[in-house]
Structure 1
Amino acid sequence: MAPQFDVLRIIEGFGLAGYWTWEFGADRQIWSPGLRNLLGLPEPDGAPDYDRFLRLVHPEDRGRLDTPIRVRAGTLGQHRFRIIRPDGTLRIVESRGEVLHHSDGRPRAAVGVVLDVTDREQALRAVRFHAARERALAVSGGVFGFAALHGEVMDLPEWRALTGLTRPTIDQGWGRPGEPEGTGALPPPVAAAIAARRPYRYSFTTRLPAGETARFYECGAPVPGEDRGGGGGWAGILVRCPAADGGEHGKEAEGLIGGREIRAARALLAWTLSDLAEASGLSLSTIRRMEEESDAASLRSRRAVLTALRGAGVVFSLVDGTAMAVALAR
C-alpha cells in the first residue's frame, strides 16, 4: 500500500473525514470507508452515487450544493451543510472538491473530501451565545463575569470599554480589575480569604474615564481542581451597584447609621470587633465605643468604618426615608 493511502487510512480512523472520487468517462464513483462511516451507511450498501449523497443532505441546505450536472461541467466548490444519517442523526459537515481535466480542457474526473465539523460548529455556537449573553448583561445590567484559568485571564472587553483599563492592567490584577479608589488595598478579611483560596465578596469604588466614580460589588470563588499544579483558578462576577450610598439622600442616610447598624453589618460578615478594627485601621476601643454609642465618633473614624464595611459588601439603604436597612450585596 502506498504511503499516502496509509495516511488517509489513519486520518479516516478518527471517524471525522472521508473522501470520494468520480470518473466521468466510466461514470464510476468511489466512496472511502471513512465517508461511508461519516454518512452513517453500512458496508456494503450498494454502489456510491452522487444523487444518493444529495438525498442525505438536509432539505434546507440541498440547494447550496453543486448539482451532478454542474460537477460534470467542471464546477465543484467548498460548502458547509447538514446531513441527516439514515438513523436520524444530524451532523454538520464541510466538503471541498476539485475537478480534474483532460489536456484539451474537458472535465474528466472529480475528487473531494468531506469533514465532520459538528463539534467545532457547536463549540463556536456556544462561544457566540456566551459572548452575546455577556454583552447583554454588561450593557443592560452592569454585570461582568471574570475568570482566570490555567494561568490565563479571560478578556473583559465590556469592562475595558466601561473603565478604560487596558488588557495588560487587567491581566496584572484580574481579581480586582477596577482598582479601589485610594490605596487600592483589599480589606484584610478579603485578602485572607483569597490567600486561603476561599470564596470572597466585597465592594470597591473605581473612577471611570469621564471622571465620575462608580461602586461595584465583586464575588469570587476558586475553581475546583484548578488549585492543583500551582496554577490556581478563579471565577466570579462584578456587579455595578445602584447609587444607594450617594445621591440626594446620601448625607441623610449616613446620619442614620449608628451602633446598631454597625453591629448588624459586622454580624452579616461574621466579623469580630478585631476584624472591623483591622479593616478600618482603627483601634479596638474606638470600634467598641462606636458600636455602644458611648462617645461621639469623629467624622474620619466613622467614614473609615463605613468604608471598610461597604468594601466587604455591606449595603446601607434608606427605607421610607426613616429607617436604615443593612444587607449584603448579592
Structure 2
Amino acid sequence: MNLQPDFGQRDFSSRGFLRLLETFRLTGNWGWTFGTNEHVWSPGFYRLLGLEPGAVRPSYDLFVALMHPEDRYRIQTAEQVTAGGLLQECNVRVIRPDGSIRVLWSRGEVLVTPEGRPRAASGVILDVTDRELLARARDIERRWRLAVFEQTRLIQFTSQASGAPLVPTELCTLTGLPREEIEADHFATVAQQEREASRSQITEQLMAGQPIHVRTLTRLKDQPPERFHGIGVPIRDRSAAILEWAIITYPAGGPCAISDLAREGLEQAVQGHHLRAARALLDWSMLELATASGLSFSTIRRLEDGEEKRASRSRHTAIAALRTAGIRFMFLDDNTIAVARR
C-alpha cells in the first residue's frame, strides 16, 4: 500500500489562479471579524475600488458607499450580514474616485460560532468589466495547465454532481479518443480487458459518496495502455450534499499535485478518530488543540464526536492547526486517510 502525497500540499490550484488574476488587477479579497469590527482588504481589493492599498481604513460601509446607488440593493446591509448571516453572490457596479465605473462580481461566506451565531465573514470580488482581459487570464491558466500536463501527464478537472461530467481536452490528448466518444462512455478511456470491472468498482464507490482512489489500465494514443492513478473527491455544501467532484489522474509512479478543491474535499472526509490520532501523535489534549486552532473546547469535542457537519469551516481550522504542528494527512491506495507526524 503506497502513501499518496500529503493532501495539505498544494499545487496547480484555484488559489494560484486567483493570484494570477490579482496580477491582472482583476480580483481582490476581504475579511471582516464582527466582534472587533476589524476589516482586512487585500491590495487587489483596494485597487479594484480605485484606491491605493492602505490609503483608507477598510470597512463594509465604505465598500457599499462606493457602489452605484442603483446597485446597492443587490448587496446585504451590514446588519443583515452580522446579525442574519446573509451574504449572497451578486454583480454590482462600483464608482471609483476618478469617476470610472467597474462591474464587480462579489461572493462571500459568513462563519458562525458553535452556537450558530455569525462571527466573521470573508469574500472575493472579481472585475468582470473587461471580458477580454479576463479571457486572457483564463487563457494563461489554460496554457499553464497544458504545460503541466505535457511534463507530467497529470490532469485535474471537476465534474458536477448532477449532469454529465465535463471532458478535459488533456484527456482527449492523452488517450487519442474524440471527446464525443468519452462523453458517450466515460469508461472508454479504460483498456477493454479491464473496462467493465473498473466500471463496476468505480460506480459502486461513487454511489458511496466517499473519496476514491483507483488504478486503471488507461488507453494511450499510439502507445500500449498504461497504469494510471485516479482520485475522485466529493465536495459538499453545508447541508452535506455533494456539489461536485474534484478529479485527478496521473501516471502510476508519477507526481501527484492536490488542487485546493480536492484538498477541501479530502479535509471534509477527515473524521473524529483522525483528529484524535493526530492529537495523540502530538501528545495534545483537546484543550491544547482548541488553543492552537482558536476554536472552542466544545467545538473540538463535537468534531471528534462526529457532531459537526462535513463542510464545517471549524474542521478545516482544526486541521490547519494540526498541520502547522507537524501532522500530515495522507490519502491511501485503499481509500482511507492516514495520519502521520513529520
Bin of the TM-score, shorter chain as denominator length: 0.3 to 0.5
Structure having the higher Rg: 1
* Higher relative contact order, chain-length normalized (CA < 8 Å, sep 6+): 2
TM-score w.r.t. length of structure 2: 0.34
TM-score w.r.t. length of structure 1: 0.35
